[in-house]
Amino acid sequence: MDAALDAGATHVGLVHFEPSPRHVSLRIASELRARARGRAKTVLLLVNAEVEATAAAIESVKPDIIQFHGAETPEWCGLVRDQLKLEIWKALGVKDAPTLAKSDRYIGKVDRLLFDAPAKALPGGNGTSFDWSLMAGHDHKIAWGLAGGLTPENVADAIAQTGAELVDTSSGVESAPGVKDLGKIKAFCEAAQNA
């Protein structure tokens, strides 16, 4: 957290999904949220969480943003956004151009889409990217960001190829699954800011 904040990250993510090696408990997520307050927006990542679990996570952490990273429907995202007055992001795995076109279902339901590699064993954090050329000429109707396999070495190229206004990394700044590398965090932020 400190490395990301010191490197000028605008957003920091807290993964609350037990199967992930990046999972943090609600208690730790709340502590990290407090640490980031006033320095970066905090994004709480949830995957297919039930209504009660979603409510408990939001109440405990009080994030700036909720990122849904599972099979959440546009209707569910919109309901959470409207009822709780929170900024909502939705991650979508991009396999091909038709998949990208389906993102329009989220117009008016989310504040930002994160275009990611398709899910594998986990819905994200797999260290794989998708074909960025699919983004060329896409008419974005919702604010968006790019995720999936981004590293300090390729983030500038990813931004140049896609015009991404926001980039997201997790496994790309790790030395092992779930183990963040402070040097990679700094290098990633520098590369993204300079792009």
> Alpha-carbon distance 34 to 123, whole Å?
27
Cβ atoms 171, 147 nearer than 8 A: no
CA distances from 46 to 14, 72, 146, 150 (A): 9, 10, 18, 20
Share of the chain above pLDDT 90, in %: 84
Residue 117: its pLDDT value, please?
85
- How buried is 70 (Cβ within 10 angstroms: 0-12 exposed, 13-18 middle, 19+ buried)? middle
> Alpha-carbon distance 143 to 66, whole Å?
15
> Alpha-carbon distance 77 to 25, whole Å?
22
Residue 97: its pLDDT value, please?
84
What total number of domains does the chain contain?
Answer: 1
Considering only residues 13 and 101, tell me which one the structure prediction assigns the higher pLDDT: 13
CA distances from 186 to 1, 19, 24, 104, 146 (A): 11, 27, 22, 34, 18
Rounded to an integer, what is the distance from CA 66 to the centroid of its chain? 9
Q: What is the pLDDT of residues 171-192, one digit of tens each?
A: 999 999 999 999 999 999 999 9
* Angle (nearest 5°) at CA 167 between 114 and 46: 45
Q: Whole-model pTM?
A: 0.92
Structure confidence at residue 96 as a pLDDT band (50, 70, 90): confident
Q: What is the pLDDT of residues 114-165, one digit of tens each?
A: 999 876 555 545 566 888 998 888 889 999 999 999 999 999 999 999 999 9
Q: Please, which residues bridge with residue 89 across strands?
A: 67, 112
Residue 87 has pLDDT above 60, yes or no: yes
Considering only residues 124 and 99, tell me which one the structure prediction assigns the higher pLDDT: 99
What is the residue range of 137's domain?
2-194
**CATH assignment at residue 24:** 3.20.20.70
Considering only residues 33 and 97, tell me which one the structure prediction assigns the higher pLDDT: 33
